[in-house]
Structure 1
Amino acid sequence: MTAVVGHLRGFVRFFRDVMGEDAYRKYQEHHAASGCSSPPLTEREFWRDKMDRQDANPGGRCC
């Protein structure tokens, strides 16, 4: 039973990574590691900036 739960958790983590749910966490880690002197964006600012950049440069999105 624990093996099934472990696999399910792994799948959920993978799905979240693919969907980009952890993008803000990764941004925070990168910001802290890069030694940037400016304060990090808030989560709301981060997602707004991300969506604005995607709208300006749609690339390979289907929609």
Structure 2
Amino acid sequence: MRVSALLRAARHVRWYIRELTDETAYERYVTHARDRHPGASVPSRREFERMRTARQEKDPRQGFRCC
């Protein structure tokens, strides 16, 4: 197998894992916020994660808690 094919496969695996673990949620949020609200400030990654966790804990349908 060529090195370029291995690199391409590694990129696909990395993309899949990041999507599966929702690591790209903040990046998608920033893109959305800048497209829809260009003048608004975008929260930091830490603030985004806090807002996201609070929203998930508030809604029992999210399945965030086990009990």
TM-score normalised to structure 2 length: 0.76
Aligned-pair CA distance for 1:36: 5.1
Task: Provide Cα deviations, 1:8-35, integer angstroms capped at 9, x if missing partner.
Answer: 2101111101211111111110011002
Would you say how many aligned residue pairs link Structure 1 and Structure 2? 63
1:27 corresponding residue in structure 2 = 29
2:44 corresponding residue in structure 1 = 42
User: Could you tell me which amino acid in structure 2 is paired with residue 9 of structure 1?
Assistant: R
TM-score normalised to structure 1 length: 0.80
Give the structure with higher Rg (CA): 2
Which runs of no fewer than 5 residues in structure 1 stay unpaired? Answer: none
Greater RCO (CA < 8 Å, at least 6 residues apart): 1
% identity of equivalent residues: 25
RMSD: 1.8
Give SS of 1:39's match.
coil
Which runs of no fewer than 5 residues in structure 2 stay unpaired? Answer: none
